[in-house]
Structure 1
Amino acid sequence: MSTPAGRPVTLADVARRAGTSTAVVSYVMNDGPRPVAPATRERVLAAAAELGYRPNRIARALRSRVTGVVGLVLADALNPYFGALARHVERALAGHGRLMLIGNADYSAERQRHLVERFLAAQVDGLVITAADADDDVAAMARTAGVPAAYLHNGPAAGQTPVVAADNEHAVEEAVAHLRAHGHRDVAFLAGPRDTGPVGRRRQVWRAATGDGGTLLRSGYSRAEADALIRRLAATGDVPRALVAATDEQAIGVLSGACAAGLPVPGRVAVVSLDGSPDSAHTAPALTVTGQPLETMARQAVDLLFTPSASPAAPRAPLIRRRSCGCEEPR
C-alpha cells in the first residue's frame, strides 16, 4: 500500500502513527536487536497494519546478507512427480520461514547450471536441486559461494553435497515380487532412453531381481512416447504380460497405448509403476505403484540446508495396491 501522495509507506510513517521512533519500529519489524515493551510492540504492529506497511526485503537482505529465499531447481516442472516434490519443498521451507523460487531445468544440464548461477547471483539462502544431470555437480558452485545446498531425488554419487535419493532398490524389488505373486514369471522393465540417474539404478536392480526372466524396453519419459511404444509392440504381438514402468509418466502412457490397442489392463498386461505421483491414483485402471515418500524426502532435503550435520534415514517407498496389477482396490 502507498501513502496518499503515492509513495511507499516507510518506517518513519509507521513511527509517526505509533507515536514512537523509527528505531523502535525497526526493532519490532526485525525482532531485535533490542527488546521492545509488549504494549509498544502491539502499537507498532497495529500502525503498520493500518498503513499497509510491508518490510523492504531487498534492503533487509543488504543489511543482514540473508534474503529469506531458497532456490529450487526442478528437473522437469511439467512432470507431476516433480510438481509434487516442489509443493512439499515449499511447505517445508515455510516451516523455516523461507520463501521458494523455482527454476525449470527441463532435463537440460546446461540450463540446470545456468539456473544455479542465477540463483546464487540473487543471493539465495540455500539451494535444493532435483538434478537433471547427476554427472555435473552444480552444487559445487554453491559450496564455493558458501551457500548450503542439497540434492533431492537424484545427485552425483561422488559429490560432497548431501543427496536425499528416491527409494530405487526396495521399490523395484517390491514391484517385481508383487507381479510374480500374481503368477507372472517374466517381468519386463520400461526404462528411459539411457541408463542414467535413478532410472538407471532401477534398471540394474530389476535385472538383478529377474536375471534373464524379463524384457528390457525403452522410451522417453513421456506419456506420448510410452503410448507409441506399446502400440508398436501390440502390432507385432510383443507386448509383455507384466511390466514395471520406471516412471509414472511412462506407466500412464502404457495404459493409454494398451487401451488404444484393445489390450485389457491387467487382463493382458499387468503394470506396476515406481513413482507414486498424485496422478497415479486417477488413471483407468488406477496404477499400482511404489509410492515414493515425497513429503519425507522434501523435508529431509530442506532440513539439511539448516542442519548440515543431519543424517536422514533412507526413505522407503511402500507398495500401494490398485487395479493395474490385478489386485482388487480396497473399498
Structure 2
Amino acid sequence: MSNPAGKPITLADVARRAGTSTAVVSYVINDGPRRVAAATRERVLAAAAELGYRPNRIARALRSRTTGVVGLVLADALNPYFGALARHVEQALAGHERLMLIGNAGYSAERERHLVERFLAAQVDGLVIASADAGDDVAARAQAARVPAVYLHNGPTSGETPLVTADNGQAVEEALAHLRAHGHHDVAFLAGPQDTGPVGRRRQVWQEAAGSEAVLLRSDYSRAAADALIRRLAAADAVPRALIAATDEQAIGVLSGACAAGLPVPGRIAVIGLDGTPDSAHTAPALTVTGQPLRAMAQQAVDLLFDRATPAPPARAALIRRRSCGCEEV
C-alpha cells in the first residue's frame, strides 16, 4: 500500500502514527534485538495495520543475510504424490516463518541440477530436494555454498546430506499380508522401468516375501502406461488375481485398464497401491493403499534444515482399506 503521495509506507510513517521512534518500530517488526513494552508493541502493530505497512524483504535480507525463502526441488509437479508432499512442505515451512519456491524437475536429472544452481544463486536459506533419480548428489553443491539441504522421499545412498523417507519395506509387507488374508497366495507386483529409490526397495521386499515364482510386471510411472499393460495382459488372458502397484498412479491405471477389459475389481483382480495419494479415495472402486506419512516426512525434513539433529527412523505407512482389495467400504 502507498501513502497519499504515492510513496511506499515506511518505518518512519508507522513511527509517526504510533508516536514512537523508527528504532522501536524496527524492534517490533523484526522481533528484536531489543525488547519492547507490550503496550508499545500493540500500538506499533496497530499503526502498521492501519497504514498497510509491509516489511521490505530485500532490505531485511541484506541486513540479516537471509532471504526467508526455502527452495523445493520437486521430482514431478504433475504427480499427485509429489504435489501432496509439496503442500505438506509448504505448511511445515510456514511454521518456521519461511516462504517456499518450487522448481519442477520433471524427472530430469539435468533439470534437477539446474534448479539447485538457480536456487543457490537466489540465495535461498535452504533446499529440500524431493528427488526421484538419486544418481547425482546435487545437494553437494549446496554444502559447498554452506546452504543447508535435505533429501525427501529419495536421495543418494552416500553423502552427508540427510535423507527423510518412509518405511517402504513395512508398507509392502502389510499390503502383501492383507491380500493373503483375502485368500490370494500369488500376488504380483507392478514396478517401474528400473529398480531405483523407494520403488526399488518396495520391489525387493516384495520379491523376498513372495518368492522367485511370483509375477513381476513393469511399466512407466503413469496411469496410461499401466492401463495399456493391463489391456495387453487381458488380451493374453494373463492378468494376475492380485496385484500390488509400486505407485498410486500405476494402480489407478490398472483399475482403468481392468474396466476397459471388462475385468471386475476386486472380483477378477484385487489391487493395492503403495502411495496413499488423495486421488486414491475417488477411483472406481476406491483404491486400497498404504498411506505414506507425507506430513510427518515433510515436517521432519523441514526441521532438519534448521536443526541438524539425527534423522528419526523412517515413519510407517498405514493401510487404508477400501474396495479394490476386496474389503467393504468403511
Identical columns (%): 82
Distance 1:276 1:44 in 2: 47
Per the alignment, residue 324 of structure 1 pairs with: 324
For the pair 1:163 / 2:159, whether they are aligned, the reply is no
Distance 1:227 1:14 in 2: 61
Quick one: which amino acid aligns to residue 252 of structure 1? I
TM-score of the aligned structures, taking structure 2 as reference length? 0.97
Distance 1:135 1:323 in 2: 37
Mapped contact 2:70–2:127 kept (Cα < 8 A) = yes
Please list, as runs of the form range in 1=range in 2, the aligned pairs for 1:149-188 lying within 5 A after superposition. 149-188=149-188
Render the CA deviation track for 1:47-72: whole Å, top value 9, x for unaligned: 21111110001110111012111111
Per the alignment, residue 192 of structure 2 pairs with: 192
Mapped contact 2:234–2:261 kept (Cα < 8 A) = yes
For the pair 1:83 / 2:78, whether they are aligned, the reply is no
Quick one: which amino acid aligns to residue 7 of structure 1? K
Where structure 2 has 5 or more consecutive residues not aligned to the other structure, the ranges are: none
Distance 2:316 2:35 in 1: 46
The DSSP-based 3-state class of the residue aligned with 2:87 is helix
Please list, as runs of the form range in 1=range in 2, the aligned pairs for 1:1-331 lying within 5 A after superposition. 1-330=1-330
The DSSP-based 3-state class of the residue aligned with 1:324 is helix
User: How far apart are residue 39 of structure 1 and its match?
Assistant: 2.6
Distance 1:166 1:261 in 2: 34
The DSSP-based 3-state class of the residue aligned with 1:212 is coil
The DSSP-based 3-state class of the residue aligned with 2:217 is strand
RMSD: 1.2
Distance 1:35 1:218 in 2: 62
The DSSP-based 3-state class of the residue aligned with 2:253 is helix
Distance 1:43 1:122 in 2: 35
Mapped contact 1:112–1:132 kept (Cα < 8 A) = no
Distance 2:296 2:37 in 1: 40
User: How far apart are residue 40 of structure 1 and its match?
Assistant: 2.4
The DSSP-based 3-state class of the residue aligned with 1:101 is strand
Mapped contact 2:75–2:82 kept (Cα < 8 A) = yes
List structure 1 segments (4+ residues) > 6 angstroms apart after TM superposition: none
Render the CA deviation track for 1:97-128: whole Å, top value 9, x for unaligned: 11111111111111111111111111111111
Render the CA deviation track for 1:68-110: whole Å, top value 9, x for unaligned: 1111111111111111111111111111111111111111111
Quick one: which amino acid aligns to residue 87 of structure 1? R
Distance 1:222 1:109 in 2: 18
Aligned residues between the structures: 330
Mapped contact 2:162–2:311 kept (Cα < 8 A) = no
Mapped contact 2:71–2:102 kept (Cα < 8 A) = yes
User: How far apart are residue 255 of structure 1 and its match?
Assistant: 0.2
TM-score of the aligned structures, taking structure 1 as reference length? 0.97
User: How far apart are residue 38 of structure 1 and its match?
Assistant: 2.5
